[in-house]
Amino acid sequence: MKKIFAAITAVLALMAVSCQKELLDTVPTGAISTSVVWTKASLARNAVTGVYNEFYTLYTAATGGNGDSWRNMFEGYSSVMDIDKNWREHYLVIYGAGTPSSSDVANMFKFYYTIVFRANDVIAHIDAVPDMDAAEKSRLKSEALFLRAFAYYNLNVLWGGVPLYTDYISDSKKATAPRSSESEVWEQIIDDLTVCIDNPNLPDRYSAGAAEYGRVTKGAAYTLRGIVYQWQEKWAAALDDFKKVEDCGYTLFSGDWADLLHPQNEQCSEMIFAIQCEAQEAMGNIRGRSFGNRDTGGSGWNNYLPNPAYVQSFENADGSPFRWTDIIPEWNDMKPEARSVFFLRDGMTADEIQKMTEYGADMSKYLTGGNEARIKRAYDNRDPRLKKSVITPYSTYTGSISNVERTLTLRWPYRKDTASPWDIRTDTNSMFYYLWRKYVPVGNECTTAWLYEQDIILFRYAEVLLRRAECLNELGRTEEAVTLVNQVRKRAGAVTLNNASYPATAVSGQDNMRERIRNEFYWELGGEDSMYFNELRWGTWKDRKFRDGTMESAALSTNGLMQIWGSLTYNWVYNGDYVRYWPIPAKEREMNPSLTQNPGWKD
C-alpha cells in the first residue's frame, strides 16, 4: 500500500473515544463495541490507522470547499507569512478578536485530544488481540505512543500545560483531569518517546516504496524527543538525539533544492515523518491550493502570502545582508505608495500610468525602457532559496490553465493570463503580493489544486541538522555548528560560512552564530509550519510578528499583510503578552470545571 492513511474505513467509527463533537463529548451512534475491535488483528490494525487518519481532519482538503485544514497552518501565526484579507478572521489569536469561545481554537484543542484518546485506546487494548504476534503489537503500541506524544507536544506549546490522560477512558464524564504543568507534560512526552526509542520492534526508518512507509519510526521519535529537550534547554540531550537521527540512516536530499517539496521526491532519505497525501477527495495537500495562485492546478487560491520582511531577510549571494538602498538609494526616504513605481511593468499604458499616479506612485522615477530590469536586480544574486521558495516580481511560473501548461510572469499591473502577455492571475489582482513556490504544483503536476498528492512534511533531515547546530552552538562548540550549517547551505547552493573568499560569511562568535542559525531556519524551512513554534521557543515571536520589517531602520511600527513595496492591507494586533498562550476553549471548561483558564483570557 503506497499510503498507509488511505485505509479509511467504517472501522474508524468504532473508536469509542472518537470525540466527534467536543473532547470526549459523545460516542458515535452505531459504533462497533471496542471489545469487538480487539478480538481480531485486521480490526485492530484499522484502529491504529484510525489514529493516523485524524491528521486528515485539519491537514487535508475536500474539493467541495469544506476542508478545514488551513486552520492548522501554524506558519500563518509566524512572521514568515500573512493571510489573505478574507481569511484573517480564522487567526483570531493574533488578529485581535479571539476569545475562548472561538471555534477555531476549540477545533484545534479537540483535534489533538482526539489523537490522544484514540492512541490511548490502542495502547490499552492491543495486547489483547489474539491473532497478532507480540512483535507487531509492540510496534503498533509504540506508534500510538509517538502519536500521543506528538499531540501533547502541540498542546503544550500552544496552551502551556494541559490535562494529561494516559489511560483509556470509556466514560466521557470521567475526563475531568486538571491541568498538569508544562514541565509535567514535557516529561510525559519524553517518557512516551523513550519507550518508542527503546523498542527493538520499531524500525529506524522505512525505505522508499516500502509497504509500511509513512508509519512512525525511531528517527521520528528521536527527532521529536530532541525538540522537546530543546524546549527545556537540555542542549546535550537534544544533541545526542539529533545525532541518532543520522545514525538511523536519514540524509540530505542530493538533488535540486527546488525539487524537494514535490511528489517525485516525497519519500527521499531526507523525509523523516510526513502526512501521506493522495490525489483523492479529502486526502489532498491543501497547501497546493492555498499557497498557489489562480493559474495553479486549474485554479488555486493565494490564501497565504510571504511577508516582505521575510523576503528581504534572504542575504546576498556573497553572504552579506540585503539592503534595498543598495538597489534603490532613495528607498527609505519614500512612502510605500511612492515606492510602487519601482515594481511597475515596462510599457505602461496611459490608463495604467494615470491609475498608479492616483495611487501615489512617484512616476518621475519610472524607467520607460528598463523598469523591470531594475527591480529584478533586487532578487538576483541572493541566497538561491529565495527564488526557489517565492515567486518574485518578473520571475516566471509554469502554471496550468484548462490542463494546458503555460509559462506565466508575475507583473504589475496585471493584464491577462489567457493570452499574451501571460501574467500570473491571483485572487488579489488589485494588490501586488509575493507568492509561494513551496508546496505549489508546477504545470500539470496537479490538475486539481484541491487534490495535490505531495506529502505534508512534519520533520525532515535538514531541520535536524540545523537543530544539531543550534545545540552545539549553545554548548559553546561553535566551530562544529558551522560545519553542520554548511551542509545545509552547500546543498542549497549558498556560499558556506567562514568562506575566505566571502568576508561577510565570517562567524564572529557564539552570539553571531546564534543569529545565523536562526536565519537558516527561516531560509530553509519558511512556509513548512516550523517557524511559529521556533519563534515562540526563541522568545522572538512578538518582535518578529508585529514589527514592520519593510524599512531598514529599527523603528517599531505595525506589521501585517502588505504589498511588496510595504503598503499595509491590514495590520496584526498585539493585545498583550497573554496571547503567547491560546485560551482554553470555553466548551471544554464547561464540561470539565477543573480546567483553569490561561491568564488574560476571559470567557
For the stretch 374-390, pLDDT in tens is: 999 999 999 999 999 99
Q: Which of 164-173, 220-229, 251-260 has the lowest mean pLDDT?
A: 164-173
Closest CA to 55 of 138, 121, 125, 146: 146
Query: 3-state DSSP call for residue 267?
Result: coil
Distance of CA 514 to the CA centre of its chain: 22
> Strand pairing of 284-285 and 396-401?
unpaired
* DSSP-based three-state secondary structure for 596: coil
When pLDDT is cut at 50, 70 and 90, the band that residue 448 belongs to is confident
Comparing 151-160, 323-332, 567-576, which segment has the lowest mean pLDDT?
A: 567-576
Average pLDDT over residues 484-492: 98
Mean pLDDT taken over the chain: 90
Query: What pLDDT is attached to residue 39?
Result: 95
Sole residue written with cell 462497533: 32
Q: Can you tell me the mean pLDDT for 433-457? A: 92
Question: Residue 563: left (phi > 0), alpha (psi -120 to 50), or beta?
Answer: beta
Residue 90 is predicted with a pLDDT of 78
Checking if the pLDDT of 282 tops 90, the result is no
Q: Using only C-alpha atoms, what is the Rg of the chain?
A: 25
Residue 548 is predicted with a pLDDT of 57
- Mean pLDDT computed over 440-446: 93
Task: Name the least confident of 235-244, 257-266, 316-325, 557-566.
Answer: 557-566
Smallest CA-to-CA distance from 556 within 569, 574, 570, 539 is with 574
Q: Model confidence at 193, in pLDDT bands (50, 70, 90)?
A: very high
Tell me the mean pLDDT in the region 501-509: 97
Average pLDDT over residues 493-508: 98
Backbone angles phi, psi at 117, to 5 degrees: -75, -30
How sure is the predictor about 17, in pLDDT bands with cuts at 50, 70 and 90?
very low
Number of other residues whose CB lies within 10 A of the CB of residue 251: 12
Contact 4, 215 (CB under 8 A): yes
Cα–Cα–Cα angle for 456, 458, 461, rounded to 5 degrees: 115
Contact 312, 550 (CB under 8 A): yes
Domain-by-domain residue ranges, the chain? Answer: 462-580
Neighbours of 382 (CB within 10 A): 19
Mean pLDDT on 127-133: 97
Q: Is the pLDDT of residue 13 over 60?
A: no
Grid cell, residue 328, equals 534603490
Do 293 and 300 meet the contact criterion of CB atoms below 8 Å apart? yes
Q: How far is CA 15 from the centre of its chain?
A: 29
pLDDT greater than 50 at residue 510: yes
Write out the three cell numbers for 507.
Answer: 562567524
pTM equals 0.93
Output the pLDDT for position 218: 98
**What count of Cα atoms within 13 Å lies in the side-chain half-sphere of residue 225?**
28
Q: How far, in Å, CA of 503 to CA of 593, rounded?
A: 60
Question: For domain 462-580, is the CATH number 1.25.40?
Answer: yes
For the segment 27-77, what is each residue's pLDDT rounded down to a tens digit?
Answer: 332 345 667 999 999 999 999 999 999 988 877 765 544 445 445 589 999
Cell numbers for 241: 538525539
- Using the structure block, give the residue that is written with the C-alpha cell 483531569: 177
Indicate if the pLDDT at residue 106 is higher than 50: yes
Across 439-449, average pLDDT: 89
Q: What pLDDT was estimated at residue 24?
A: 38
pLDDT of the residue at 559: 87
- Quick one: what percent of the chain has pLDDT higher than 90? 76
Question: Does residue 433 have a pLDDT over 80?
Answer: yes
pLDDT at residue 95 greater than cutoff 80: no
Quick one: average pLDDT of 546-568? 72
For residue 450, name the pLDDT band (cuts at 50, 70, 90): confident
Summarize the confidence of residues 505-512 as an average pLDDT.
98
